[in-house]
Amino acid sequence: MTAVLASYASEAALSGAVDRLRALGIEEIETYTPLPVEPGERTGEGSPLPAAVLGFGVFGAGFMFWLQWLSTATSWGYPINIGGRPAFSWPGYIPITVAFGILCAGLAGLAGYLLLATAWRLWDPVDEFEATRRVTRDRWVLHAHSEDDHIIRRARDALVDSGALSMRLLSHDLEEVPA
């Protein structure tokens, strides 16, 4: 894979460079910014994390409700009829059902965040680019990558025309190539 990294002094310059790359047909673009960027048309469909959290929460609550029903209202559990109460008394199931649903949703959120944020990756070749060290202060960095070297060469030319402060081209073995 070949990648190009470019740094800019402002959000407007970075936004213009992203528009140029999208016009070239490059979709694999990452940006590193010192300030949060307002979501717009370029942000994509969104994160699958809320749907996963909801799904795991509902599944956990349903599983716990079923487990309580199985253990108290069926012959598989230990049915005890004390005081003439019904075997299936669902109001007593609600507190632990809600608590287990929240626990499952929270664990799914944490695991999904770590997975989507690639938190296990402690180092990336992008980290060696000098401008990424200043991205928390005053730099706006763009990282575009593709399997096709010709697309990245065209992207590099477009980024040079867009007024990049500094650039770096990474090749297949992630070594620096003169830009």
Ordered by where they begin, the domains of the chain are 2-34+135-177 (3.30.70.260), 49-116 (no CATH)
Residue at token pair 């477009």:
158
The answer to whether the pTM exceeds 0.75 is: no
Q: To which H or E segment does residue 5 belong?
A: strand 2-8
Cβ atoms of 6 and 139 within 8 Å: the answer is: no
User: pLDDT tens string for the chain (179 positions)?
Assistant: 578 888 888 888 888 888 888 888 887 888 888 887 665 555 556 789 999 999 999 999 999 999 999 888 887 767 667 777 777 888 989 999 999 999 999 999 999 999 988 777 777 777 777 777 778 788 888 888 888 778 888 888 888 888 888 888 877 554 444 44
- In this structure, which long-range contacts are made by residues 100-103, counting pairs with CB atoms below 8 Å and at least 24 apart in sequence? 100/60, 100/61, 100/63, 100/64, 101/57, 101/58, 101/60, 101/61, 101/64, 102/57, 103/60
Closest CA to 34 of 53, 11, 5, 6: 11
CB atoms within 10 A of CB 137: 7
